[in-house]
Structure 1
Amino acid sequence: MTRRDATLTRKKLLAAARKEFAEFGIAGARVDRVASLAGVNKERVYGHFGSKEGLFAAVIGAAMDELAEAVSEPGDDIAAWVGRIYDFHRERPDLLRLLMWEALHEWQEEPPGEQERLARYSMKVDALARRLDLPGGPEAATTLLSLIGLAAWPTAVPQLTRLIIGPHVGTQHAQEAIRNGVMAMAEGAVRNRSQ
């Protein structure tokens, strides 16, 4: 197998595994379904990733890289930044599903790649602290966590969003209202924090 073929196989496996893990979690996911969806032999999964857990870690890592690239550090317009996070999760709900499955699977352990994630989020905490003139550390970190949670929550729990917003939740008007509400809440929270 050439390097190009191996790279293509790896990409196919990651794409197939992302769908499988988002739907079934690590416990319910099946390597044979991933291989079938990717159009490769099941042994290729083990050849590239070593185990189902290794494949899951690679899928989570790739999804987190995607998030880090799509949503930069907070800048001057915190509400717009929160809006971008909301948009990202709305367009890619599988990432939140993967993170929830990871939390259920590895809730007491340090998941693979956590140190790299920690470094990325540490930079975002520092940027938010500078932007809001907050001391670094727990205050800025909890503010960042709250803003991300505000942006992600409507997508993370779609059933609750439907119950609260109502049957028209899928309309463009309702989605714009949710987005605008999330951004307004973020702006108000930031304004109160920086006073």
Structure 2
Amino acid sequence: MQTERTLNTRRKLLDAARAEFAEHGIAGARVDAIAAASGVNKQRLYANFTNKEGLFSAVISTAYEDLGLHVPVPDSLDSARRYVGDIFDYHSKDPTLARLIAWEGLHYGSQGFPDQQARAAYYEAKCAKLDEALGGIGRSETAHLVLTLIAVATWPFVAEQQRALLTTRDAHPNALRETLLRQGAAVVDAATARDQEA
């Protein structure tokens, strides 16, 4: 059983590492910088996480847990239609998960990555819950829907330079969110309508 002190050390390391990895990626992140920012020596870091990739894996797993707490999987058609807005709001408050996902993709590409099976199980459960909420549109269709909704909501935080270039003329501060929310709702409506036509 982990002591309060051990849990506190782990939390400090994860918080510092999340900021460092979000800023510099897996290859560019420095263990020295993470240790200094956390106030924990490198030996404790390696004792807790073995290596830098193990630390990144723990960081991204913790970030996904946080997302799940703040943005639950939709349990109805109405909440599915609002899902893009909920994801957008989450990333607006803390864009680090979007950056971590982008860095992970750049680092590993199509190769396997640590905790891939756990992540696959996470998405399988997410898709199963959403499929049930939408009345059973099919697992493949639901998986494509989840990927599309995540892409719509998250891309502005992955490609911040594009967002800056393309939204400079927005008169209303929530214009982008409202547009993406409409697009997400339209995608959900199209997916559920296709199932009804079949």
**TM-score normalised according to structure 2 size:** 0.88
- Could you tell me which residue of structure 1 aligns to residue 150 of structure 2? 148
Deviations 1:48-73 (A, max 9, x none): 11111111111111111111222111
Amino acid at match of 2:34: V
Q: Aligned to 1:109, what secondary structure does the other structure show? A: coil
Q: Which residue of 2 aligns with 1:25?
A: 25
Root mean square deviation of aligned Cα: 1.8
Q: Which of 185, 188, 193 is 1:187 aligned to?
A: 185
| Alpha-carbon shift at residue 194 of structure 1 (Å) | 2.1
- Aligned residue type for 1:88: Y
Matched residue type, 2:153: A
- Aligned match of 2:82: 80
Q: What CA distance in whole angstroms lies between the structure 1 residues aligned with 2:188 and 2:10?
A: 42
Question: Is residue 75–residue 128 contact of structure 1 (8 Å, CA) maintained in 2?
Answer: yes
Separation in 2, partners of 1:137, 1:116: 18
The one of 113, 117, 120 equivalent to 2:119 is 117
Measure, in 1, the Cα distance between the counterparts of 2:177 and 2:89: 8
- Structure 1 CA distance, aligned partners of 2:23 and 2:149? 26
CA gap of 1:193–1:53, structure 2 versus 1, over 3 A, is closer
Q: Which has the higher contact order (CA 8 A, sep 6+)?
A: 2
Aligned length: 190
Cα distance 1:9–1:144, how it changes in 2: closer, same or farther (>3 A)?
same
Alignment partner, residue 102 of structure 1: 104
Q: Secondary structure at the match of 1:111?
A: coil
Q: Secondary structure at the match of 1:18?
A: helix
Whether the aligned pair in 2 keeps the contact of 1:73 and 1:123 (CA below 8 Å) is no
2:46 is aligned to 46
Q: In 2, are the aligned partners of 1:125 and 1:136 still within 8 Å (CA)?
A: no
The alignment's TM-score, normalised by the length of structure 1, stands at 0.89
What does residue 71 of structure 1 align with?
71
- Residue 84 of structure 1 aligns to a residue whose secondary structure is helix
1:190 partner amino acid: V
**Deviation sequence 1:12-70 (CA, Å, 0-9, x none):** 11111111111111111111111111112111111111111111111111111111222
Paired amino acid for 1:25: G
Which runs of 5 or more residues in structure 1 are unaligned?
A: none
1:105-124 C-alpha deviation (Å, 9 max, x unpaired): 11232222222222222122
Give CA deviations for 1:143-180 in whole Å, capped at 9, x if unaligned: 11101111111222111111111166xx8x32x11111
For 2:134, the aligned partner's letter is L
Q: Confirm or deny: 8 A CA contact 2:83 2:149 kept in the other structure.
A: no
Q: Percent identity?
A: 41
Question: Aligned residue for 2:34?
Answer: 34
Distance in 2 between residues matched to 1:53 and 1:192, nearest whole Å: 39
Asked whether the equivalents of residues 131 and 142 of structure 2 are also in contact (C-alpha less than 8 Å), the reply is yes
